[in-house]
Amino acid sequence: MEFTEKRQRWKRINALTPKKLELAHFLLEKIRAGEDVMTIVRRHPLEGGGYLNKAALVAAYEQMVAAGTIEPDGVLLEKIRMKPMRTLSGVTTVTVLTKPYPCPGKCIFCPTDVRMPKSYLPDEPGAMRALEHQFDPFTQVQSRIRALKNLGHPTDKIELLILGGTWSSYRRDYQEWFVKRCFDAMNDPHHKENEDHKEEPKEDSVVSAVNLVETHSINETSSHRNVGLVIETRPDEITPDEIKWLRHLGVTKVQMGAQSFDDHILEINKRGHDVESTRQATALLRAAGFKIVLHWMPNLLGATPQSDREDFARMWADFCPDEIKIYPNQLLANAELYEYWQRGEFHPYTTEDLVDLIADIKPSIPRYCRVNRVIRDIPGNNVVEGNTRTSLRQDVQAEMKKRGTTCQCIRCREVKGKIVELSSLQLHDHAYPAGKAQEHFISFNTAEDGLAGFIRLSLPSKDSPDTGMADLSGAALIREVHVYGQSLAVGAEKTGAAQHVGLGTRLLEEAERVAKQNGFEKIAVIAAVGTRQYYMDRGFERGEYYLVKGIKR
């Protein structure tokens, strides 16, 4: 496979021979003394051509620390870390894909490849890794943790993102097995696999249920704790029974393809559900404390740039997702939409059309929402006609800068790796109605309006959907606590890092105060497995699916 061959070649080039190790030590000393990383690297090429990359520098740094040649130096590690943005939001994301499996959807824009789960292509970066590992959950997680560590990233706090078609359409024994194997890899990433439940359950056989409770329990104190578990599904799959199952698995965040908020557009694109299904699904997920991510697709069949502008505005009336992914429709040869294009019934937007559209709508995104993506990472060679640029976010940012407009979304305001001055932080409470509940986005902001941390508090009303879960009866809900700064090892300290100045505790106290003020006598949190101890240390107790705390009157 071409991808595997490239990785093997990369490993050969960057293997630390004695000469390369000697050069790496020399470069690290120069970098510690204040030299610019890339300048000093280019000034000292390898014999025979090429340069040492950052992964080699990280490996050399770790060898030097282990040998006692140098003391651990967080500042130096930050300088040589590859792609630091990956963990500056506070957690390290590990993405895995489920195996190819039938999807209930018949969407005309969705690509079909027998080698992949529905809607994915084999040459997308994450999909290539999954295909290389034959969709095995254990080795996908294991290899990704190893790769991230080699790039200098901390891996003690992992958000597990499970992608691949419609999660809810997979057999539940497969889902449970898949999640367990992911946790097995987080619990014991460096050793040989446990042979128990190594093989996925067969459709024609009866297998004993995996002990997911025990596996979760181990992860509570693992060196690679799960701080978030994300799946993707369809709005018409969300029911009270389904959300109970998701909590059994440990899911804390749900991605759904809303695609459009226009029933006619959904119908002619054969989406298979209506807008009301999305409305009910988001309200039920909110009532159960889940974080909600909606996918929105401009340029669907029947849409125009102007109708897309109007459609985007509908998202903020009642749906109010916590995060969004903007996935402009892309014309692919292995999608049914291709036939519409051949007949002249569909015309893809140009790159200029998309930049203009997204630059128009981005300033309207509320401060409580995070924009995770503005383009799907599909290689341009797959696109028949229309935009092929995967750097659309940068293009949109450049256009907005030219216009003098700004975006207020979470991603655009995160403090990331900046030093946080406690004295400059201001507490804000942004309240808004959504899904029959009153939401409170409570945040600590810097004087420059940078976002240092936030908590999502949901106050259900008598009209909120009934989840059927006793833990949530009469409870205010904490749906997310997030404090920014480089993801650090548990117990590590870093002067001024937002994650280590007690902001999380202060946000919890403020949420409890607001809940009490609104008449609630208990508060529940949808805790990820690896964060349970954090909340229990702050007065929460175990319930059936949630952690719960009484509010003193």
Position 544: which residue type?
E
Alpha-carbon span 553 to 548, nearest angstrom? 16
Question: Exposed/middle/buried for 123, CB within 10 Å: 0-12, 13-18, 19+?
Answer: middle
Q: Which of 421, 359, 368, 424 is nearest to 392 (CA)?
A: 359
- Complete domains list, the chain, with CATH: 2-80 (no CATH), 87-200+209-233 (no CATH), 256-413 (3.30.750.200), 422-550 (3.40.630.30)
Pick out the chain residues at pLDDT < 50.
1-13, 84-89, 206, 486-500
Tens digits of residue pLDDT in 203-256: 655 455 688 999 999 999 999 999 999 999 999 999 999 999 999 999 999 999
Alpha-carbon span 190 to 180, nearest angstrom? 17
How much is the pLDDT for 446? Answer: 93
Beta bridge partners of 438: 433, 459
Orientation angle between helical segments 172-187 and 137-150, nearest 10 degrees:
30
DSSP-derived secondary structure letter, 167: G
Question: Is residue 300 a contact partner of residue 109, using CB atoms and an 8 Å limit?
Answer: yes
How much is the pLDDT for 495? Answer: 45
Phi-psi region of 31 (alpha: psi -120 to 50; beta: other; left: phi over 0): alpha
Question: Is residue 544 a contact partner of residue 232, using CB atoms and an 8 Å limit?
Answer: no
How much is the pLDDT for 486? Answer: 41
Long-range pairs, 270-279, Cβ under 8 A, ≥24? 270/106, 270/107, 270/108, 270/336, 271/105, 271/107, 272/104, 272/105, 272/106, 272/107, 272/234, 272/236, 273/234, 273/235, 273/236, 277/235, 277/236, 278/235, 278/319, 279/318, 279/319, 279/435
Alpha-carbon span 23 to 46, nearest angstrom? 9
Question: Is residue 475 a contact partner of residue 461, using CB atoms and an 8 Å limit?
Answer: no
How much is the pLDDT for 90? Answer: 55
Tens digits of residue pLDDT in 290-333: 999 999 999 999 999 999 999 999 999 999 999 999 999 999 99
How much is the pLDDT for 5? Answer: 46
How much is the pLDDT for 80? Answer: 73
How much is the pLDDT for 343? Answer: 97
How much is the pLDDT for 57? Answer: 79
